[in-house]
A and B are shown apart, each in its own frame.
Chain A
Amino acid sequence: MLLRVVHRTTYQYTSAVTLGHSQLRLTPRTFHRQRTLSSRVTITPGPSTRRDWTDCYGNDAIYFTLEEPHRELSIESRALVDVFVGSQLPVNDTQPWEYTRSVLRTPETPEAIEAQAFLFDSFRAERSPEALDYALPSFRAGISLTDAVRDLTSRIYRDFRYDPAATNIHTTTKHLLGDRRGVCQDFAHLEIACLRSLGLAARYISGYMLTRPPPGKVKMVGADASHAWVSVYFPERGWIDLDPTNDRTPGDDYITLGWGRDYDDVSPARGLVLGGGGGRLAVSVDVAEQPANLGRVPL
């Protein structure tokens, strides 16, 4: 599916910011399931310095500084992405999930060795007895990894209420397990914590999904948001994505921006400023399907 995304972020400050340093991860990544046909990130006011580079996970990153006083900063990212294929759980998976755990313990392939980087705690997705307790009912002995992760994803979907008011950037998985309410990033961090507690490798995916309006309604422009889900390592098959917020595997209607151990590794924008007073943040995201014959027009 050919998808076009426009992601605008605007900061308005009550007093002038005199110096700002920022990092962006807003360029969809090209990998075996998708190709970024074109992408452009526009920063206003024009940054004093800008550098596009590749971070340690292979994601496209942008570093920029603003060295002139400014009261507003807007970042607009536009991209056209060809998503070839969605993520699919293996069919007829008969291998018990414990097999994956043992492969990760004594890996033989370079891929499995690399996957080990995602076995351990990160700041927002730490292994814990609580996460393990929550995960275990889905991981009975001998059950296949496919069935187990599908069940775990569904249970998170059923057991937790989607509630943007209940969460903030500092919500921890322990807190979430008590409160049972949160948003996509919380569910993703919880599922990652569960999988790592079991000795499996899991990573955090930052991206977007195409939302379709209810039947008969017109889609609202800009009403989408950035999204997050998880990816699980399967020996021989590689990384397979799951979306606990929507209880599904991401299809070709999902755009991947990048991945890391958790939100901190791939947050779309982070930065430090001098001055600024109180600030106001406005974000709008719009994902739309692009008819194939228009696919190659410039942005």
Chain B
Amino acid sequence: MNDAVITSVAEQRKLFANYRVAPNVYDEALTADGQVRPTWQRFCARLEQVGLAGVGQRADQARRLLRENGVTYNDVGAPQGPDRPWELDPLPVLIGRAEWTALTEGIVQRAVLLNAFLADIYGPQRLLREKILPPAVVYEHPGFLHPCRGLTPLGGRHLTLYAANLIRGADGAWCVLADRTQGPSGVGYALENRIVISRTLPRDYESLYIERLAPFFITVRETLRGLAPRHRDNPRVVLLSPGPRSTRYFEDGYLARYLGYALVEGGDLTVRGEHVFLKTLGGLMPVDVILRRIFDEDCDALELRPDSSLGTPGLMQAARFGNLALANAAGSGYLEAPALMPFWPRICQFLLSEDLKLPCSPTMWCGRPDDLRQVERELDNLLIRPAFIHQNLPPVDTSRMAQVQRQQLWQEILAHPHRFVAKRPDSRSTAPTWNGRELAPARLVLRTFGIASGDSYQIMPGGLCRVADPESSWGESASSGQSSKDVWVLSDGPVQSVTLLPRSTTAVELRRSINDLPSRVADNLFWLGRNAERAEAVVRMLRSCVVRLTSDLEPTGIADLVTLIGSLPAVKQSLVAAKGNGKIVAVESDSDVNPAIAKLREQVFEGIFNPQRRGSLAQHLHCFRDTATSVRDRLSVDSWRIVNQLRLEDALPPTPANARMGDVLLLLNQVLNLLAAFMGLGTESMTRSPGWRFLDIGRRIERALKILHLVRSSLVEAVEPISSLLEAVLEIADCSMTYRHRYLASLQLAPLLDLVLVDETNPRAVGYQLNALSEHVAELPSDSGLSPRTPEQRTMLAAQSALRLTDVEALCEIDASGKRMALDRFIDGLETQLLRLAEDLTHHYLTHTVAARQIDTALPN
């Protein structure tokens, strides 16, 4: 044992060679004189064996795993783009069992206290009556929700989930920096961090007796299930998310999947009577418990913020009359107010008759005259932030302000003193962190999580650590700082391994078809299918144009190209001009620089790269990614990786003039491959659930529509000679091979129409799409017994019959106007049927996605 320690001290010189613990700062791993703390000795000894190079490898490995798992933080407006990769340091923070037990007692006490506080402040308000709290702290806070007064949540508990941000001062004592009580962020990241770190450091993980996180999540599930007012055997718990535009969305999806809850948005829920339901394809399903990840004021536009559409009207009423458990109860966000900080010691004495076990980080609330005077005295070295609503922004650091700015700030504070809190710069502990070259100290904030259990709380043995350079100032959000760390609580003996997967002793009910797909998700999958197919159609069209632009153009080739480009929606406006030029071009085609061709080139480039242009490829891909984001929790990691690659922004050529057509062609081919891979994964990996059906329905409808559009725009008008145009149509419809195989080189209209319209064995033909659609429609959940066929089934039958009965030869005839009007009418009929199908499906299954609106009210006068 002694030998091992001695070696480690020797080795540690290498590992910690340049590691300097700053004066008056507590370092988690090293003492002030550079000795490894006992808790860290075993771990550091292991670390020394792998050396700096090994740590670097583990950092890379962790980064790779996170990228592969698609772990991101949705940081709207961040320089790296909205989806910022989640950063994880390869070295965890270690906390010994004894220290953790003491810390946990403090966090549990605080959770109990916060819950008691809510019960009082929304109930009898003894804290106000006994003047423990000044009324301004309550009533000035926009997060104190008056409609929640007198509203007792189910089981009397307001606070189910809790998170505390902790820092460790120079003396080694922890204190609370902030409380988080609205579906606290970070719990999912903590879990993912642990999964990744345990893969990068498997042997250390085994040998160190690290407390597992899974038991915490088991308690989360038990507690939430226990909250249910009805269906107590099998209550429906949903995770209510603010949606894909929220910073929390990745974690929402992650948690929902891990805990096995449906991920829903406000629009997926509806209140009927005083009960909450989930709108699914199979009808309304009762909801008993909501794990709430939207903010308080967004819960219910009927009683709270009237302009918010993130919640569901009537939710508060359902909670008020005991039909719904909200975790946490509405109004709990009030606890996050920094203005409460100075009052906690007294509140604790008053409500629990105990001293606060875990002190609060010293905070001055300018609403107290003494604090205000203190702030004035120390104004040149304080951190100032809003007193009520935390904004996840770094505080204003007055030491970095010019005198003029500081005076302005002081005037603002004087005008509304109660709106500000101030803190002295705090000392935060450091921990060794990999900076790409070596270990360097980084300052840390530890976010710990609690879940109600019985009369008390259970604390996750671990947490989420945020770290940053000692110099940078940072906010308090789960994503602030520069990177994150896993947190290991070291147990004294071997730790029993637990999993969230059901134990083998409990028989799992086998379920094949799940009809509880939220209608919104079905809607999004439907549009994902349509958008993917739209993008593919546009790529094929553009590719044919580009191919023709790169080859030597025959005069007739130009005319074909004009027709082709004309059928791109993106260039429709300029069609007339281009067509006018077309004839002139034919005459002048021998000149070197053909202005008409330059113009066409420009059109094609616009059609590919200009995201502002309606119908351009860039725009289609944008729509595709947008829809994919909104159903991200339904997409596999592989699919998501493809979605991430489908962007043209990085491939944008400087100008059409100096881009090489060959490069553009390569790019289009690449996009086509990616789209095919995405669809292939869908086909091969998704179970044949209603969700898959809606994805495929969207794709089939769109493909049929696109073929009809192509045939109409290129073949209704009679152009001679027709053969090169037919070739282009076959190419775009991806039928060239089949055609040549069947008819060799003889290009004629009738066999082509048969192949791309009628042929039910050709996966690119309209007939094939109709067959697939008709099968899907028959399999969707329906109120059986009402009528033999749903409107969708009738529509499909009509379309299929029309197609099967058609006479292809007759469609080829040119009438007196010089056009194939029979073909035009036929296409028109099929198009109408397909659009009707889309409409019927929307009406039948997807309508519930409309947002509720406020009704007018009469003003008193």
Contact = CB atoms under 8 A, between A and B. Distances in A.
B273 interface: yes
Interface string A267-280: 11111111110010
B855 A11 contact: yes
A168 interface: yes
Contacts of B148: 56
Contacts of A263: 860
B858 A9 contact: yes
Interface in A129-170: 164, 167-169
Given A270-B302, A272-B301, A183 B860 contact: yes
Nearest to A108: B131
Given A23-B303, A56-B147, A113-B129, A164 B861 contact: yes
Interface stretch (B134-142, B349-357, B422-430, B590-598): B134-142
A164 B860 CA distance: 10
A73 to B, nearest CB: 8
Given A225-B860, A272-B854, A283-B858, A49 B274 contact: yes
* Residue among A227, A228, A270, A275 facing the most chain B CB atoms (10 A cut-off): A270
Nearest to B125: A113
B305 to A, nearest CB: 10
Interface size grouping (class) on chain B: 35 or more
Interface string B279-319: 00000000000000000000001110010000001100100
A166 to B, nearest CB: 11
B129 A110 contact: yes
Interface in A171-192: 183-185
A272 B302 contact: yes
Nearest to B303: A23
B236 to A, nearest CB: 20
B856 interface: yes
Contacts of B858: 9, 225-226, 268-269, 281, 283
Given A56-B146, A56-B149, A21 B859 contact: no
Nearest to B305: A123
B861 A48 contact: no
A55 interface: yes
A49 B273 contact: yes
Given A48-B273, A63-B317, A183 B857 contact: no
B855 A279 contact: yes
Interface in A200-227: 206, 225-227
B861 A116 contact: no
B273 A184 contact: no
A277 to B, nearest CB: 10
A195 interface: no
Contact of B853 (A113, A183, A261, A273): A273
Contacts of A63: 274, 314, 317
Interface string A226-254: 11100000000000000000000000000
Interface string B838-861: 000000000000101111111111
B321 interface: yes
A272 B855 contact: yes
A103 interface: no
B150 interface: yes
A175 B158 CA distance: 40
Nearest to B130: A113
A271 B306 CA distance: 9
B302 A23 contact: yes
Contact of A116 (B135, B150, B855, B857): B135
B139 A120 contact: yes
A261 B859 contact: no
A167 B858 CA distance: 12
B12 interface: no
Given A65-B314, A67-B272, A51 B321 contact: yes
A51 to B, nearest CB: 7
A261 B150 CA distance: 17
Nearest to A283: B858
B270 interface: yes
Given A21-B302, A271-B302, A185 B860 contact: yes
Which of A9, A11, A116, A276 has the most B CB atoms < 10 Å from its CB?
A116
Given A56-B146, A65-B273, A113-B129, A120 B860 contact: no
A19 interface: yes
B126 to A, nearest CB: 11
A113 B860 contact: no
Contacts of A206: 860
Nearest to B316: A63
A23 B274 CA distance: 13
A247 B135 CA distance: 32
Contacts of A121: 140
A85 interface: no
Interface in B304-350: 306, 313-314, 317, 320-321
B271 interface: yes
Contacts of B136: 120
A119 interface: yes
A228 B858 CA distance: 12
A265 interface: yes
Contacts of B302: 21-23, 270-272
Contacts of A283: 858
Given A225-B861, A273-B855, A120 B140 contact: yes
Of A206, A226, A272, most buried by chain B (CB within 10 Å of CB) is A272
B128 interface: yes
Contacts of A167: 859
A174 to B, nearest CB: 16
Contact of B861 (A11, A184, A272): A184
A247 B391 CA distance: 44
Nearest to B272: A67
Nearest to A11: B855
B856 A272 contact: no
Contacts of B274: 49, 51, 63
B857 A270 contact: yes
Nearest to B122: A56
Interface in B109-161: 128-129, 135-136, 139-140, 146-150
Contact of B854 (A113, A225, A271): A271
Interface string A52-72: 010110000001010100000
B846 to A, nearest CB: 14
A274 B273 contact: no
Contacts of A169: 857, 859
Contacts of B270: 19
Interface in B642-661: none
Interchain residue pairs A-B with the least CB separation, the first 5: A56-B149, A49-B273, A226-B860, A183-B861, A116-B135
12 contacts: A51-B321, A55-B147, A56-B146, A65-B314, A67-B272, A113-B128, A113-B135, A225-B861, A226-B860, A270-B302, A270-B857, A274-B852
Given A21-B313, A183-B861, A281-B858, 7 more contacts: A11-B856, A56-B147, A225-B858, A269-B855, A270-B306, A275-B850, A276-B855
